[in-house]
Each structure stands twice: as structure tokens, then as C-alpha cells.
Amino acid sequence: MNFQLSEEHVMIRKMVRDFATNEVAPTAAERDEEERFDREMFDHMGELGLTGIPWPEEYGGIGSDYLAYCIAVEELSRVDASAGVVLSAHTSLAGWPVYTFGTEEQKQKYLRPMAEGKKIGAYGLTEPASGSDAGAMKTSAREDGDHYVLNGSKVFITNGGIADIYIVFAVTDPESKHKGTTAFIVEKDFEGFSVGKKEKKLGIRSSPTTEIIFDNCRVPKENILGELGQGFKIAMQTLDGGRNGIAAQAVGIAQGALDASVAYAKDREQFGKPIVANQGVSFKLADMATSIEASRLLTYQAAWLETNKLPYSKESAMAKLMAGDTAMKVTVEAVQVFGGYGYTKDYPVERFMRDAKITQIYEGTQEIQRLVISRMVTK
Ligand code: CAA
């Protein structure tokens, strides 16, 4: 067993850390305040190869692996969780199903421009009345000659409005329950597709989240992803990897909060000494660091399993469960270390705390992770 990162992973970590420090961090607070996504920043991620980390070069990627991808999401989230989730949804939720289930033509047409960062990807599963119970979706797809006609709407779509390509799940056979769902690749310019309400959120505010609407949206049959009726499984398998990206995001948020807390605790003096000299503070930092390391190990393990084509559904659910709870707990503690200053926008820890909450909710709530894990450990 070897816990050391490879030279390639260390190099990618350094490259993303430099990019995050120099180009993402300086505007993170301002973009959060203005709820503004920065397309130029995403384009630069594309130029650096970050938008296609795990995909082979023949599909426009850099031919690395899922661990490198998780490290990239972690490093971005360490300064800006919004940048982290934009990359995570783009790679795991849109790129992954096309890479795994797409035809050669679909990979060249859709995966390549996503990997190169020329197009942004998104994933549409959740509906107003179908969240945790993903199988209860209502969006329908009716066959019409060489097209399917989609009707319905999807909500809480990460990268909604900025994405060019949407992986959408719709019911093609209402009688067949889970086996009656099909995945489609939908382009933003398809007739009948539109972007609805943009959510105003507590955190990850510079990552857009919108509704997407299908009003007799015509999707050519060649844009079916995988097979007819295979959609629910594609959705679930996609989320297995996606959850690991969110675990990496949570690890990054928590690490950012710890870094800020350590620096502040060493600098801030009260009662004639730095506050870090009090065990009430230093033990907090020790607990924060320990939970982060445990979360990181679970996350890297799940990424390693995926890279090595071993089962990872349970491990990625565990990683997200642990890392999401860690991010929430650590960021609340970080605000406490900063005291009154932590509650203001002069320091980044209040933003980290607001951003952390979503990691306990999206890509399956913590309760759904427990459901997935408990089903697997008791079967
Ligand atoms: N891999 C492959 N197949 C799977 C699977 C997996 N991980 N999970 C389930 N399946 C298969 C089952 O084997 C079963 O197949 P058969 O019919 O052949 O037996 C079928 O799918 C149905 O499975 P279940 O009976 O387990 O389905 P369920 O209705 O009980 O639901 C669930 C399972 C785990 C609760 C699922 O609904 C779920 O994950 N819910 C949460 C949804 C979610 O995470 N949403 C997040 C939205 S995306 C998002 O948040 C993105 C973002 O913003 C960044």
C-alpha cells in the first residue's frame, strides 16, 4: 500500500494551486457577492487542461485520472467552492456519462469540446417533485419519427444557463418504472429548450443554478445516450463518481477554512499572547485537521478505486458523507476561531461556511448517502 501521490499528481496539484491562488482567489469574494460566473476563468481552466483531466487525449483530455481530477476540484474549492463545483459538474456529471456510455460520434461531438473547455456541460435529473426519489421524475420523452419530443422541467441545475450541453433524463415508458427512463444529450440551441429561473442561493453563489424547461423540445434519436430504458442506471452510476467530486469539493472548503484559521490564530493576540497558545483554540485546529485528513483519505481512496475500475459506489457515498459533514463542522469552527471578525465579509470563513452547507445536500443528501451505504453493508 502506498499513500504517496505520484509525481504527476503532485505536479497537477501545484499547477491548480498556483492557478487557484493567483487567478481564482483574488475575485472569489466579489463574484460571490455579485453572483457572477466568470467565463474567462473557465476558458483559462480549459487552456490548462483542467476541463478534461480524466479523459484520453483522443477525446481532448489530458489523459490523467480520477484522483488528479479530485485533487483539482479540492484545490479550486480551497479558495472558491463555486469554481470547484462548476468543474465537478462539468467533468463528472456531463463528461463522465458521455465518456462511459457515448458512441464514438457522441464522444467526438460532445466530449471533446467539453474536455477542451470550449463547451460547458451540465446534468438534469432533479425535478420540482422528484429530488431524493429520483425515480419519480415526470419529464417525458415521446417518439416522433427520428426524434424524441421532451416535455417537462428540471430544477437546481448546476451550470444551468452557462452550459452548452445538458445530459437529461426523461421517461420514455411510464409503465416500466426505473427501466422506462432514458438519457438524452440536449444542446442549448435545440428547439423547445430554454433556461428558467435562476436561484438566489445561500452559498456557491458564483456557480449558476437554474431551472431548465422542455417545451416540445426536439432531440434527434442519435442523441440518446446509452440505450433506451437505461437512463436510471446511467443517472445513478454518474452520481457515484459525481459524489466523489463533491467530497473533494468539501475537503477543499474545509482545508481553506483550516488554513485561514491557523493563520489568524497565530496572528491574533488577546490577553498578551496569540490565541493559538490557548488549547481551546489549538485543540479545535487539531480536530479540524484530523477530520479533514480522514475525509481526504476516503475521497482519494474512492478516486483510486474508480481509476482502477474497482467498485466504488459505497466508498464514494462514504467519502461524500464524511467530507460534507467535515466541511460543515470545520467551517462553523473556523468562524468561531475568528470570533466577531469571522462573522463579517472581511474574511473568507463566513463564505466557506455558507458554501459548505450544500455539500450535505446536493448529489444526494447525507440521508441518501446513508441509504446507499446501509443497503450495501447489509445486503
Ligand atoms: N449503479 C448502478 N445501478 C444502480 C445504482 C448504481 N449506483 N443505484 C441503483 N441502481 C439500479 C438498481 O440496481 C436497480 O436496478 P434493477 O431495477 O435492475 O434492479 C435500479 O437502479 C433501481 O434502484 P433502486 O431500487 O435502488 O432505486 P430507488 O428508487 O430505491 O432509488 C436512490 C435509489 C439511491 C435513493 C436514488 O433515487 C438516489 O440516488 N436518489 C438521490 C438523487 C440524487 O442524488 N440527486 C442529486 C441530483 S444531481 C445534483 O445534485 C447535481 C448538482 O447540483 C451538482
Q: Are strands 121-124 and 165-171 parallel, antiparallel or unpaired?
A: parallel
Task: Provide the residue count of the chain.
Answer: 379
Contact 288, 334 (CB under 8 A): yes
Distance CA 16, CA 76 (A): 7
- Hey, whose CA ends up nearest to atom 10 of ligand 1? 233
pLDDT bin (cut points 50, 70, 90) of residue 366 is very high
Beta-bridged to residue 193, according to DSSP, are: 214
What would you report as the CA-atom Rg of the chain, rounded to the nearest whole angstrom? 21
| Residue 159, C-beta contacts closer than 8 angstroms, at least 6 positions apart | 86, 89, 90, 94, 120, 121, 122, 207, 208
Check pLDDT > 90 for residue 138.
Answer: yes
The pLDDT assigned to 340 comes to 98
Distance CA 198, CA 184 (A): 23
Distance CA 350, CA 3 (A): 33
Catalytic-residue membership of 363 = yes
Residue 364 beta carbon below 6 angstroms from any ligand 1 atom = yes
The pLDDT assigned to 168 comes to 98
Name the CATH architecture for the domain at 122-229: Beta Barrel (2.40)
The pLDDT assigned to 153 comes to 98
- Of 294, 305, 302, nearest to 327 by C-alpha is 294
Is residue 133 helix, strand or coil?
Answer: coil
Q: Is 247 exposed, middle or buried (0-12, 13-18, 19+ CB in 10 A)?
A: buried
Ligand 1 mean position, distance from CA 237 (Å): 8
Distance CA 164, CA 86 (A): 13
Which residue type, as a one-letter code, is found at position 154? K
Domain span(s) for CATH 1.10.540.10 in the chain: 7-119
Name the CATH architecture for the domain at 7-119: Orthogonal Bundle (1.10)
pLDDT bin (cut points 50, 70, 90) of residue 177 is confident
Query: Helix, strand, coil shares of the chain as percentages rounded to 5?
Result: 60, 15, 25
- Of 181, 191, 324, 179, nearest to 245 by C-alpha is 324
Q: Which three cell numbers stand for residue 244?
A: 466523489
Which residue type, as a one-letter code, is found at position 51? T
Distance CA 93, CA 39 (A): 19
- Of 80, 48, 44, 83, nearest to 64 by C-alpha is 48
Residue whose CB lies within 8 A of the most ligand 1 atoms, among 167, 230, 233, 246, for a mutation test: 233
Residue 277 beta carbon below 6 angstroms from any ligand 1 atom = no
Q: What is the pTM of this model?
A: 0.98
Distance CA 212, CA 195 (A): 4
Domain span(s) for CATH 2.40.110.10 in the chain: 122-229
Q: How confident is the model over 185-190, as a mean pLDDT? A: 98
Check pLDDT > 90 for residue 1.
Answer: no
Residue 370 beta carbon below 6 angstroms from any ligand 1 atom = no
Residue 101 beta carbon below 6 angstroms from any ligand 1 atom = no
% of the chain surpassing 70 pLDDT = 100
Catalytic residue chosen out of the listed positions 8, 143, 363, 367? 363
Residue 262 beta carbon below 6 angstroms from any ligand 1 atom = no
Residue 125 beta carbon below 6 angstroms from any ligand 1 atom = yes
Q: How confident is the model over 28-56, as a mean pLDDT? A: 98
Q: How confident is the model over 316-336, as a mean pLDDT? A: 98
Residue 355 beta carbon below 6 angstroms from any ligand 1 atom = no
Ligand 1 mean position, distance from CA 316 (Å): 14
Check pLDDT > 90 for residue 361.
Answer: yes
Question: CA 370, 374, 377, 379 torsion: positive or negative?
Answer: negative
Ligand 1 mean position, distance from CA 232 (Å): 7
Q: 247 to each of 49, 84, 184, 244, how far by Cα in Å? A: 21, 11, 27, 5
Q: 371 to each of 34, 101, 130, 318, 376, how far by Cα in Å? A: 37, 26, 17, 11, 9
Is residue 167 helix, strand or coil?
Answer: strand
Ligand 1 mean position, distance from CA 84 (Å): 24
Question: CA 285, 288, 289, 290 torsion: positive or negative?
Answer: positive
Name the CATH architecture for the domain at 233-378: Up-down Bundle (1.20)
Q: Which atom in ligand 1 lies closest to the alpha carbon of residue 209? A: 53
Q: How far, rounded to the nearest angstrom, does the alpha carbon of residue 156 sit from its chain's CA centroid?
A: 13
